[in-house]
């Protein structure tokens, strides 16, 4: 750190925490809710850790008052949550389910009564199952009008109460996990289909942003992207080139479209040469150019390190399996996907300078500053950190959870964020992942992120009691002093 003194966080900085509907709500068939692709996927044996599902999750649907009361007591300034599309429009495109809308209206009202800014994510992966069956989900352009209708419903209902909106959560993660690694629904391993679906989602994103600007002129909207900076393993220019390539494949491919309305030409050329590029019409190009996000949501967990492909083959099978199974942010091609243009261009490797979490995710607070700097400098949009946190096994001992390791992790990241602000990065807020313990998509209830412990595990929902952890009181202090102590 080269500053004598860091700039303070702005007065209205949004200290927040985040969640997603499928991971917390439960009540998966209540009050008219339709099924989502995750409801189906999690019920199929072998797809999730110990067969865990979101049927009950942490029962937030029935405990929303208690949960918001805990947020208020903590002094939270913002709460990021997602809406379950199939709760609001059960079949994805037909009649609106008023009871579903009413649940989110209640949540938003409670938040506002407690001066907590709602941050609404429109799509956090739980596509209505009916749309998957009818249109092949994001595989067909026919889904776009359905998404537009869903957005219109939410914009009309909440335009006066919700200022910050997120279109898609981690498009890079859910497209690659769903269409490439077959770890999420629709469980496909086809790179061409991944790029095709991804393009359709880009069109849906642009459509939503344009509609929003028409209907909610005083609000702000943007996508949340899972960003990780890419490092070369060494100063060998071949490794540096590998990092440039990986940055295009892992980051620019999405961010350039969001922020500049066009695909990066180097990578588009590689995909065209490999015969896996999406079909992009002239109308598509006009649409993508027309939609401008107001901010960019950044989810930061870690970056990645790459080297040139010295052996002309991917890194050893065991290591790759480990990467793709536990870490959606590493897009290292597997041996069976050797037709991918990435294979000769870069290989993901471990960074020798970084420690890892119990799940093998690198802990890299400096990378957070690198990320914020890179993205802000390139796109000049205000940044909103919509996720950052540590997944760990927490132990309840004598009714308490002493998660000092989480406090250390968060304190380091908040500090580097403050450094990035001092560097000149414009930031709206920071939402830690997650407010309470919740269902991890593929790691059940074992991998915990919350400030609030939820007394349940993979085998039993127990009493679902909420117990604030040590990190809860630490964050409460941090918010009270607006980060001045960091
Ligand atoms: C992000 C998702 C979140 C959350 C988080 C932690 O990719 O947006 O929904 O799940 O990662 O991931 P995990 O639970 O796999 O550790």
Pairwise CA distance, residues 145 & 291, whole Å: 16
Ligand 1 centroid vs 439 CA: distance in angstroms? 9
The tally of domains found in the chain comes to: 1
Regarding the beta carbon of 441 and ligand 1, being less than 6 Å apart is answered yes
Closest C-alpha to ligand 1, atom 12: 440
- 452 closest CA partner among 19, 12, 125: 19
CB 24 within 8 A of CB 18: no
Look up the domain containing 342 and give its range: 14-480
CB of residue 126 inside a 6 A radius of ligand 1: no
Instruction: Give pLDDT, residue 328.
Output: 56
Point out the ligand 1 atom lying closest to the alpha carbon of residue 173: 7
Q: Which residues contact 460 (CB under 8 A, 6 or more apart)?
A: none
- Ligand 1 pocket member 439 (CB < 6 A): no
Q: Which atom of ligand 1 is nearest to the CA of 391?
A: 16
What value, to the nearest 5°, has the Cα angle with vertex 187 and ends 123 and 60? 40
pLDDT per residue as tens, the chain (486 positions)? 689 999 999 999 999 999 999 999 999 999 999 999 999 999 999 999 999 999 999 999 999 999 999 999 999 999 999 999 999 999 999 999 999 999 999 999 999 999 999 999 999 999 999 999 999 999 999 999 999 999 999 999 999 999 999 999 999 999 999 999 899 999 998 999 999 999 999 999 999 999 999 999 999 999 999 999 999 999 999 999 999 999 999 999 999 999 999 999 999 999 999 899 999 999 999 999 999 999 999 999 999 999 998 765 444 443 443 344 446 555 555 544 556 788 788 888 999 999 999 999 999 999 999 999 999 999 999 999 999 999 999 999 999 999 999 999 999 999 999 999 999 999 999 999 999 999 999 999 999 999 999 999 999 999 999 999 999 999 999 999 999 999
The reported pLDDT for the residue numbered 224 is: 98
**From the CA of 440, how far away is ligand 1's center (Å)?**
6
pLDDT at 79: 99
Tokens of 402: 């002493």
Residue 19 CA: distances (Å) to CA of 58, 138, 394, 451, 474: 11, 23, 18, 12, 19
| Centre of ligand 1 from the C-alpha of residue 273, in Å | 33
User: Is there an atom of ligand 1 within 6 Å of 331 CB?
Assistant: no
Our answer on whether the CB atom of 226 is closer than 6 Å to any ligand 1 atom is: yes
171 vs 440: CA distance, rounded Å:
17
387 pocket-lining for ligand 1 (C-beta < 6 Å): yes
**Residue to probe by mutation, ligand 1, list 441, 442, 458, most atoms within 8 Å of CB:** 441
Residue with tokens 């997602």: 82
Residue 345 belongs to domain with CATH number: 3.20.20.80
Does any domain span residue 81? yes
- Token pair 């127990």 is found at 462
Q: What is the pLDDT of residue 312?
A: 53
Task: Give how far Cα 361 sits from Cα of 357, 391, 475, Å.
Answer: 5, 9, 23
Residue whose CA is closest, atom 6 of ligand 1? 440
What pLDDT does 318 receive? Answer: 36
Ligand 1 close to Cβ of residue 169 (< 6 A):
yes
Helix (H, G, I), strand (E, B) or coil at 14: strand
Residue 9, in any domain of the structure: no
pLDDT at 105: 98
198 lines ligand 1 (CB under 6 A): no
* ipTM value: 0.98
DSSP tag of 54: S
Question: 486 in a domain, yes or no?
Answer: no
Ligand 1 center to 441 CA (angstroms): 7
Q: Is 468 in the pocket of ligand 1 (CB under 6 A)?
A: no
Q: How far is the CA of 376 from the centre of ligand 1 (A)?
A: 23
DSSP state of 348: E
How many angstroms does the Cα of residue 20 sit away from the middle of ligand 1?
9
The set of catalytic residues is: 170, 387
For residue 310, tell me if it sits in a domain.
yes
Please give the Cα distance from 445 to 448 (Å, whole number): 7
294 domain residue, yes or no: yes
State which ligand 1 atom lies nearest to the alpha carbon of 329. 7
Whether residue 15 contacts residue 119, with contact meaning beta carbons closer than 8 Å, is answered with no
d(CA 18, CA 67): 12
CB proximity list for 314: less than 8 A, separation 6 or greater: 320, 332, 333, 334, 335, 338, 343, 347
In degrees to the nearest 10, what's the CA dihedral of 463, 464, 465, 466?
A: 180
Q: In Å, what is the CA distance from 46 to each residue of 41, 184, 362? A: 9, 12, 27
């Amino acid at each position: 750190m080269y500053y004598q003194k860091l700039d303070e966080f702005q007065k209205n900085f949004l200290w927040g925490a985040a969640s997603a509907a499928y991971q917390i709500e439960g009540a998966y068939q209540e009050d008219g809710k339709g099924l989502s692709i995750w409801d189906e996927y999690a019920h199929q044996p072998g797809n999730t850790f110990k067969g865990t599902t979101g049927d009950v999750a942490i029962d937030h649907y029935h405990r929303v008052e208690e949960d918001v009361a805990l947020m208020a007591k903590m002094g939270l300034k913002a709460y990021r949550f997602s809406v379950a599309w199939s709760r609001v429009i059960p079949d994805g495109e037909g009649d609106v389910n008023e009871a579903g809308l009413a649940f989110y209206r209640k949540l938003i009202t409670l938040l506002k009564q407690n001066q907590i800014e709602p941050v609404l994510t429109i799509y956090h992966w739980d596509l209505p199952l009916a749309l998957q069956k009818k249109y092949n989900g994001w595989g067909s352009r026919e889904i776009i009008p359905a998404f537009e209708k869903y957005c219109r419903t939410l914009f009309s209902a909440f335009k006066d109460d919700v200022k910050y909106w997120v279109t898609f959560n981690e498009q890079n993660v859910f497209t690659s996990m769903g269409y490439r690694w077959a770890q999420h629904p629709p469980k496909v391993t086809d790179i061409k289909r991944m790029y095709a679906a991804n393009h359709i989602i880009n069109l849906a994103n642009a459509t939503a942003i344009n509609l929003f600007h028409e209907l909610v002129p005083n609000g702000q909207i943007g996508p949340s992207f899972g960003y990780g900076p890419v490092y070369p393993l060494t100063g060998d220019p071949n490794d540096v080139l590998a990092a440039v390539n990986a940055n295009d494949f892992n980051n620019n491919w999405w961010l350039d479209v969001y922020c500049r309305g066009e695909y990066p030409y180097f990578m588009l050329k590689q995909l065209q040469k490999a015969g896996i590029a999406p079909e992009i019409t002239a109308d598509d190009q006009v649409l993508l150019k027309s939609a401008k996000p107001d901010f960019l949501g950044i989810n930061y967990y870690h970056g990645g390190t790459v080297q040139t492909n010295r052996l002309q083959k991917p890194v050893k099978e065991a290591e790759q399996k480990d990467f793709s199974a536990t870490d959606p942010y590493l897009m290292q091609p597997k041996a069976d996907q050797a037709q991918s243009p990435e294979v000769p261009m870069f290989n993901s490797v471990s960074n020798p300078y970084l420690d890892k979490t119990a799940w093998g995710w690198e802990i890299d607070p400096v990378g957070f500053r690198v990320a914020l700097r890179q993205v802000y400098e390139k796109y000049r949009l205000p940044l909103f950190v919509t996720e950052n946190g540590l997944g760990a096994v927490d132990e309840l001992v004598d009714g308490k959870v002493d998660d000092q390791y989480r406090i250390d992790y968060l304190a380091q990241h908040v500090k580097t964020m403050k450094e990035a602000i001092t560097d000149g990065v414009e930031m709206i807020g920071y939402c830690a992942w997650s407010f309470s313990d919740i269902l991890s998509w593929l790691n059940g209830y074992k991998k915990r992120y919350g400030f609030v412990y939820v007394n349940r595990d993979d085998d039993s929902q127990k009493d679902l009691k909420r117990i604030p952890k040590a990190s809860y009181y630490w964050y409460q202090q941090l918010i009270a002093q607006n980060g001045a102590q960091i």
